[in-house]
């Protein structure tokens, strides 16, 4: 259950999924009351006993069930950030982000850790240098 006070209309959620060596998946989400995640209102964790195998271009089949579980009961989402592409190519072939937008009915930002060969439209983001390092 999400705890804390809300600082505005709707909540902003960032979620990710980890696949367990024993099978299944654990999804985690952080919930904020603002788009810059400066007013955190809670966090959530859910475990699903089974996970689909990874299929390139069909990552959403693996990710959506754990995301459904961890986001169950989160009301009034204004934005969802997921680990994956929104679109898989410049023509708009739907990736996890597009499927999550359809599933949850909110805008979705997809942030992928690794490149997908047909996502030539994606913009790489560089990490900021660490202070003193």
List the pLDDT tens digit at each of the 133 positions of the chain.
344 444 557 899 999 999 999 899 999 999 999 999 999 999 999 999 999 988 877 888 999 999 999 999 998 999 999 998 887 777 777 889 999 999 999 999 888 776 665 666 666 666 666 666 5
CATH architecture label of 11-110: 2-Layer Sandwich (3.30)
pLDDT of 67: 97
Q: Rg (Cα) of the chain, in Å, rounded? A: 15
* Angle 93-81-89 from CA coordinates, rounded to 5°: 20
Cα distance between residue 47 and residue 36, in whole Å: 27
3-state secondary structure of 14: strand
pLDDT at residue number 100: 95
| Whole-number pLDDT of residue 4 | 45
Residue 124 token pair: 């790489």
Give me the half-sphere count of Cα atoms (radius 13 Å) on the Cβ side of residue 59: 23
């Amino acid at each position: 259950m999400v705890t804390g006070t809300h600082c505005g209309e709707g909540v902003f959620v960032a979620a990710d999924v980890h696949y367990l060596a024993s099978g299944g998946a654990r999804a985690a989400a952080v919930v904020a009351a603002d788009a810059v995640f400066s007013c955190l209102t809670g966090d959530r964790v859910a475990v699903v006993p089974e996970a689909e195998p990874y299929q390139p271009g069909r990552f959403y089949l693996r990710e959506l069930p754990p995301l459904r579980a961890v986001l169950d009961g989160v009301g009034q989402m204004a934005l969802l950030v997921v680990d994956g592409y929104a679109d898989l190519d410049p023509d708009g072939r739907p990736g996890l982000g597009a499927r999550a937008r359809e599933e949850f009915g909110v805008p979705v930002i997809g942030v992928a850790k690794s490149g997908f060969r047909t996502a030539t439209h994606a913009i790489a983001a560089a990490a900021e240098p660490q202070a003193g390092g």
